[in-house]
Amino acid sequence: MSKQLETTPKQDGFRMPAEHEPQSGIWMAWPERTDNWRFGGKPAQATFVDVAKAISKNTKVTMVVSAGQYENARSMLPEEVQLLEMSTDDSWMRDIGPSYVVNDNGERRGVDWHFNAWGGLEDGLYFPWDKDDAVARKVCEALGDESYRAPVVLEGGSIHVDGEGTLYTTEECLLHPSRNPDLSKQQIEETLKTYLSVEKIIWIPNGLYNDETNGHVDNLIHVVAPGEVVLTWCDDEADPQYEISRKALDVLSTETDAKGRQIKVHKLPMPGPLYISESEASGVDVSDGMERVPGERLAGSYANYLVSNKHVIYPLLDHECDAEVGVLLQQLYPGYAITGVDAREILLGGGNIHCITQQIPAL
* Positive or negative: CA dihedral 334, 273, 50, 155: positive
Closest-CA residue to 293 (of 311, 310, 280): 280
CA distance 206 to 73: 37
The residues, ordered by sequence, that sit 6+ positions from 223 with a Cβ below 8 Å of its Cβ are 18, 19, 20, 160, 161, 162, 168, 229
State yes or no: is 234 an active-site residue.
no
List, in sequence order, every beta strand (DSSP E) within the chain: 4-5, 23-29, 61-65, 82-85, 99-102, 108-114, 147-153, 160-161, 166-170, 200-204, 221-225, 228-233, 264-269, 306-307, 311-316, 337-342, 358-361
Q: How many CA atoms lie within 13 A of 224 on its CB side?
A: 19
Burial (Cβ within 10 Å: 0-12, 13-18, ≥19) of residue 67: exposed
Write out the DSSP string of 189-233: HHHHHHHH--SEEEEES--STT-TTT--GGGTEEEEETTEEEEEE
Phi, psi of 194 (to 5 degrees): -75, -40
CA 116 to chain centre: 16
Q: By the 8 A CB rule, do 355 and 348 touch?
A: no
Q: Which of 140, 173, 234, 355 is catalytic?
A: 355
First to last CA, the chain: 17
Among 139, 66, 74, 65, residue whose Cα is nearest residue 109: 139
* CA-closest candidate to residue 229, choices 264, 179, 194, 198: 264
Please state, in angstroms and rounded to a whole number, the distance separating the CA atoms of residues 270 and 243.
Answer: 13
Would you name the residues annotated as active-site residues? 355
